[in-house]
Amino acid sequence: MIHHFRDFIDDLRTTHGDNLVSVILYGSAAAGDFVPNRSDYNILVALNKIGPEDLRLAHASVREWARIGNPIPVYFTVSELQNAADVFPIEFHQMTVAHKVLYGRDVIEGLNISNEFLRHQAEYELRSKLIQLRRQYIPASASSEKLMKLMAESLASFSALFRAVLILHGVEPPATKHEIVALTSKHLKISGAPFEKIFNIRENNFIEKLDEAEANALFGHYMDEIERVIDAVNKVE
């Protein structure tokens, strides 16, 4: 176990005592596509009960965890996990595929995840992120560096939603972002070239440099393919 996980878990155990049920690592670090200096260590903390006092007591341990550059953990009660799985099918399906138990029991295993609202959530999230991407493009369009960063960061978010797209089409998604995007492109018969280019830029820490015209052209191609993914989701019965 990574040393700072152990320290953080010790702090959580001291803070929450018998109320602490589980500490789960999810996201890139659990899936195997963690990118140093870009990806986060995402942590889910499961308690038996959560009140203001429990969260207030967590302040010291969470503050130290955040101080070394990690996002604040997500807190759930064990009973909430069952109920929330229906509301956030994308997120919880991803957790069931790729998570690691750092402490306690596996509260993710055996979650009852309904696909009833999966298409609605997938389309909503995809369209919302596309609108946000267009807005962010406006100030970034004059700088190749800003555009490359925007594409790299946004593709990581879109890839999590592409997982849901595969599920909707009856395809079991792989674990890593790169594999998910490649399989989505292949299954929907769209061009994976812009996604592959952006992944290469992201995974190689921007070693490859694009000039302003090249970056803008890549962004245009990237946005076209995302719109095709959304069209495919919209057509799912």
Q: Count the alpha carbons within 13 Å of 230 in the hemisphere toward its beta carbon.
A: 16
Q: What is the pLDDT of residues 160-173, one digit of tens each?
A: 899 899 988 989 88
State which amino acid sits at residue 86.
Answer: D
Strands (E), the chain: 20-26, 42-47, 74-77, 99-104
Look at residue 1 in the predicted model and tell me its pLDDT: 45
How far CA 27 is from CA of 24, 39, 45, 82, 93, in Å, comes to: 10, 9, 14, 19, 11
Could you tell me the domains of the chain?
3-104 (3.30.460.10), 118-234 (1.20.120)
Cβ contacts of residue 69 below 8 Å, gap of 6+?
A: none
Q: What is the pLDDT of residues 24-56, one digit of tens each?
A: 999 888 877 777 766 788 999 999 999 999 999
CA–CA separation, 203 and 155 (whole Å): 12
The model's confidence at residue 175, banded by pLDDT at 50, 70 and 90, is confident
